[in-house]
Amino acid sequence: MLFQKRTERIFIWVFFPLALMMPLFLEQNTFYVSKLTTIMIFAIFVMSLDYLVGRCGLITLGHAMFYGLGGYIFVMIAPEYDAVNFWIYTFYICAISALIALVIGFLVLRTSGIYMIMITLAFAQMTFYFFSDSIEFGGNDGVFIYVKPDTSLFGISMFDLDNPIHFYYLCLLSLFNTLFFFRLVTRSRFGRVIDAIHENPGRTTALGYNVFVFRLMAYVMASALGAYAGYLFTMQYGFVNPSMLSWQTSGSALVMSILGGLGTLYGAILGTVVYEGLHYVLEHMTEHWLLFMGALIILMVILFKNGIAGYLEKLLEKRS
């Protein structure tokens, strides 16, 4: 069985059917549909970060760089007034950002711990200022995208990206595929080595594994998926701007992944949904929502040692 943990299976059986039915309830209200879409997209990004931080032990504060790059690569390579093919561009964007991650990872992964946090942050800030200072990419305003890609595959168009509900389903599918993909990777022989490196890098080297290369592969993989999330975000709002690249984006993704339960992967979805849910509710109650949000997050981190997923596992796994 691919999804080994009972809690994860329960989560999948509860969350995805609910998410599938959501548009039926919200048909009149495209605002909520698009809100949910954004959450799905960000959950993909958080999951890719969770894989890096929680499974590989590579703590980065620069993951938003790839989120933003996903959008910027798209506006760079796509023609301005023609609809491009969604699937082909998915491939392009993942491939190009993987190449960038290969180069940056090559430098970043020579360090570890606090130094790695600093260097990833430095790279992200460099990218941020590059785009926010460039006239060609619209500076702080970013770039607009006028035509949404079409999603025909072998002549069959599955999703109409101008339709929010279609786009919602595309993002939900992407989210499920990301979880599925990462679960496949963590259960594979590659994933076992990654777990071994996370637990004891010295021993793993002494066994004859080239730790650097394994970490680099994981970094490239997670970065490409982060860029894919950024590409979807750009698609949804029809523009890309430097705030996507900011360290605040990396930071809040990190908070969501810790809130959900580091390294649990599905916890990334929980973390994102809860964080964004709280954000939405508190924002409507008070102007000082950040204050309450901070307090609630501190409370939750203290109460749930391994995040929400860790708490659920404690509840559900015991009884089995």
Partner 1 sequence: MNTHVILKTEGLCKYWGGLRALDDISLTFHDRQLHGVVGPNGAGKSTLLNLLCGHYKPTSGKIIHEGEPIDAIKPWAFARRGIGRSFQKTNIYPSATCLENCCIAAQRRMGGSFNFLRSRHHQTVLEELATNALEKVGLAKRRDQVAAHISYGEQRQLEIAMVLATSPCVLLLDEPMAGMGHEESLLIIDLLKRLKQEYCIVLVEHDMDAIFELSDQLTVMVDGQHLTTGSVEQVREDPRVREAYLGQGDEVY
Q: Pull the structure tokens for residue 217.
A: 């592969």
3-state SS string for 190-259 = HHHHHHHHHHCHHHHHHCCCCHHHHHHHHHHHHHHHHHHHHHHHHHHHCEECHHHHCHHHHHHHHHHHHH
Q: Does residue 205 touch partner 1 according to CB under 8 A? A: yes
- Of 141, 199, 283, 317, which lies in the binding site for partner 1, with binding defined by CB under 8 A? 199
Stretch that binds partner 1, among 22-30, 67-75, 145-153, 206-214 (CB under 8 A): 206-214
Residue 204 lies near partner 1 (rule: CB under 8 A): yes
Q: Which stretch binds partner 1 (CB under 8 A): 31-39, 77-85, 156-164, 184-192?
A: 184-192
303 contacts 274 by C-beta, under 8 angstroms: no
Cβ distance to partner 1 smaller for residue 72 or 214: 214
**Between 129 and 180, CB nearer to partner 1:** 180
Residue 232 beta carbon to partner 1: minimum distance, rounded to whole angstroms = 23
Is 64 near partner 1 (CB under 8 A)? no
Task: Please tell me whether residue 208 binds partner 1 under the rule CB under 8 A.
Answer: yes
Asked if 203 touches partner 1 (CB under 8 A), the answer is: yes
- Smaller CB separation from partner 1, 190 or 239: 190
* Residue 196 sits in the site that holds partner 1 (CB under 8 A): yes
Q: How far apart are CA 212 and CA 116, in angstroms?
A: 14
Residue number, 166 or 187, with CB nearest to partner 1: 187
Q: Which of 9, 166, 187, 279 binds partner 1 (CB under 8 A)?
A: 187
The two structure tokens encoding residue 62:
């620069």
How many CB atoms are closer than 10 A to CB 298?
A: 10
Considering the complex, what minimum distance in angstroms separates the CB of residue 303 from partner 1? 24
Provide, rounded to whole angstroms, the least separation between the CB of residue 305 and partner 1. Answer: 16
- Asked if residue 190 binds partner 1 (CB under 8 A), the reply is yes
Q: How far is the CB of 191 from partner 1 (least distance, A)?
A: 8
d(CA 90, CA 57): 27
Is 166 one of the binding residues for partner 1 (CB under 8 A)?
A: no
Cα torsion angle, 274, 280, 283, 285, sign = negative
Site string for partner 1, 14-53 (x = CB under 8 A): ----------------------------------------
Residue 306 in contact with residue 313, Cβ under 8 Å? yes
Q: Which is nearer to partner 1, 76 or 217 (by Cβ)?
A: 217
Query: Which residue pairs, CB below 8 angstroms and at least 24 apart, start in 141-145?
Result: 141/241, 142/239, 142/240, 142/241, 142/242, 143/72, 143/75, 143/239, 143/240, 143/241, 144/238, 144/239, 145/74, 145/75, 145/78, 145/234, 145/235, 145/238, 145/239, 145/240
Given the rule CB under 8 A, which of 31-39, 108-116, 179-187, 303-311 is the region that contacts partner 1? 179-187
Interface with partner 1, residue 192, by CB under 8 A? yes
Of 16, 89, 209, 237, the residue at the interface with partner 1 (CB under 8 A) is 209
Residues that contact partner 1, how many (by CB under 8 A): 24
Give dist(CA 159, CA 152) in Å, integer.
Answer: 8
Full DSSP string of 278-306: HHHHHHHH-TTHHHHHHHHHHHHHHH-TT
CA distance linking residue 319 with residue 103, whole number of Å? 47
Token pair 């209200």 is found at: 29
In this complex, which beta carbon is closest to partner 1, that of residue 110 or of residue 203?
Answer: 203
Residues that bind partner 1 (CB under 8 A): 184-185, 187-193, 196, 199-200, 202-211, 214, 217
